[in-house]
Amino acid sequence: MPAPMHEHMLANMRDHLAALSEIQAALAAGRYDQAADVAEQRIGMSSLERHGASHMAPYMPKAMQDIGTNMHRAASRLARAAQEASVTNEPSHALGALAELTQQCVACHASFRLK
Ligand code: HEC
């Protein structure tokens, strides 16, 4: 991956971590709609454009792209689970979906480095 893109990718990563923290705080406070918004807009399928995903993906090996796709999908599933929680007031599905999302972060970090 060209060096200027490293900075872009790491900036995306720092925003992902900040988003996870905001999601956890919102779930803990019972602000489920807010958790859903952050998950969808910052990490979910709706964030692909904003992260320049289509420019980055071609520089990643296929297995890495697949984990990235799994991460974006997991975040969108989390967003739906959090919306569900806002109706049922029962966050356990959303917490499970949050764990599945963070597993994708862990999986990619375990296998890939920028250089
Ligand atoms: C598709 C692969 C992939 C996924 C998925 C992924 N990361 Fe990363 N992340 C990386 C790579 C590669 C680096 C750079 C590691 C290196 O080169 O040492 C990185 C670095 C980071 C950094 C360090 C940023 C810096 O400024 O140095 C943070 C924080 C981070 N990731 C958070 C996350 C979080 C949170 C998630 C899940 C929501 C996530 N990442 C998902 C590949 C991924």
**What is the tens place of the pLDDT at every residue in 93-104?**
999 999 999 999
Give the pLDDT score at 16: 98
Give the pLDDT score at 2: 87
> Distance from the CA of 10 to the center of ligand 1, in angstroms?
7
Q: What are the structure tokens assigned to 11, written together? A: 């900036």
Q: Which atom of ligand 1 is nearest to the CA of 14?
A: 29
- 53 pLDDT above the threshold of 90: no
Residue carrying structure tokens 């969808």 = 40
User: Mean pLDDT, to the nearest integer, of 48-62?
Assistant: 90
Give the pLDDT score at 54: 87
Q: Give the torsion sign (CA, 56, 104, 17, 98).
A: positive
Residue carrying structure tokens 């991956």 = 1
> By alpha-carbon position, which residue is closest to atom 7 of ligand 1?
105
Give the pLDDT score at 70: 98
> Distance from the CA of 80 to the center of ligand 1, in angstroms?
24
User: pLDDT for 6-38, tens place per residue?
Assistant: 999 999 999 999 999 999 999 999 999 999 999
> Distance from the CA of 88 to the center of ligand 1, in angstroms?
33
- Shortest CA distance to 75 belongs to which of 48, 96, 101, 53? 101
Give the pLDDT score at 17: 98
- 78 by Cβ neighbours in 10 Å (0-12 / 13-18 / 19+) ranks as buried
How many other CB atoms are there within 10 angstroms of residue 26's CB atom? 20
Protein residues whose CB sits closer than 6 Å to any atom of ligand 1: 10, 13-14, 16-17, 20, 43, 64, 67-68, 71, 101, 104-105, 108-109, 112-114
> By alpha-carbon position, which residue is closest to atom 22 of ligand 1?
13
Per-residue confidence at 51, pLDDT binned at 50, 70, 90?
confident
Check: CB of residue 20 under 8 Å from CB of residue 102: yes
